[in-house]
Structure 1
């Protein structure tokens, strides 16, 4: 029993990560004010703790409750950007799930991979994959990115973002 639980845990962690990302960042991609209203029911991180996730930008950060991991959702105030941080997440499984979700765009959009990089570091590998959805006439294009690391010392092993670009 312990073996099956240990094997299932990484997949459950990645599934929880993608579920939170999908139901918040993707669902509210064109309604960030609606997302902020939805998040009012959750405890917001104090400004000093949120600053680490906001990296100089204005906005808010919320701890997302999950039995499968520690997740922080960040919504910027000045730009249409939503990010989800995972303290730990299996890189390969998370990337497979991410690509399944954003790799094929719903009609009338077309999905294009914009980035797929892998950088070895002193304590792990950092990998980033990014997609852009567009139509022939779209000026504002949804952008999706996932950065994972196998580093055990990283603040977050996974960061998934969704934004509206120009």
Structure 2
């Protein structure tokens, strides 16, 4: 969660600042980035970490940051994610919007999502974590942070 907190959360209201912060990291080639961008315009970086392989994606047209983890202990990641975004800082309120888990032929896919809101702004930070136990998945975890309406 450290990479997510120090990049996606820290720069949630400053995506240009996030891009500048990431400029020292290796940028993925367009073909590799396309797999993570899923049709959206944006940029993907490989983020070095002692904890594994991570790719951080920033969309160009939306205020969205996504962190992909190649391998991830799902239960530990979800507990850390909920601790990070489950309680919003003042003046925000945190509300869980989704908590699903579905078993498929390849493993279990789980998603948890939170929205932070305040009476003073229609713009609401949205946070989600999706994990899978599939060994065949491109990433076993993806955490997103976005500004919604």
Which TM-score bucket, shorter chain as reference?
over 0.9
1:78 equivalent to 2:50? Answer no
Partner of 1:30: 13
Separation (CA, whole Å) in 2 of partners of 1:27 and 1:19: 11
Partner of 1:13: none
Partner of 1:60: 43
Partner of 1:92: 75
1:75 to partner: Cα distance:
0.2
* Structure with a larger share of its residues in helix: 1
Q: SS of 2:19's equivalent? A: helix
Q: CA RMSD in A?
A: 0.5
1:137 to partner: Cα distance:
2.4
Q: SS of 2:21's equivalent? A: helix
Separation (CA, whole Å) in 2 of partners of 1:46 and 1:141: 32
1:88 to partner: Cα distance:
0.3
Separation (CA, whole Å) in 2 of partners of 1:156 and 1:40: 23
1:42 to partner: Cα distance:
1.1
Separation (CA, whole Å) in 2 of partners of 1:60 and 1:67: 23
User: With structure 2 as the length reference, what TM-score do the two structures score?
Assistant: 0.99
| Equivalent residue in structure 1 for 2:123, among 140, 144, 158 | 140
1:111 equivalent to 2:94? Answer yes
Separation (CA, whole Å) in 2 of partners of 1:67 and 1:133: 31
User: With structure 1 as the length reference, what TM-score do the two structures score?
Assistant: 0.89
Aligned length: 149
| Equivalent residue in structure 2 for 1:158, among 136, 141, 146 | 141
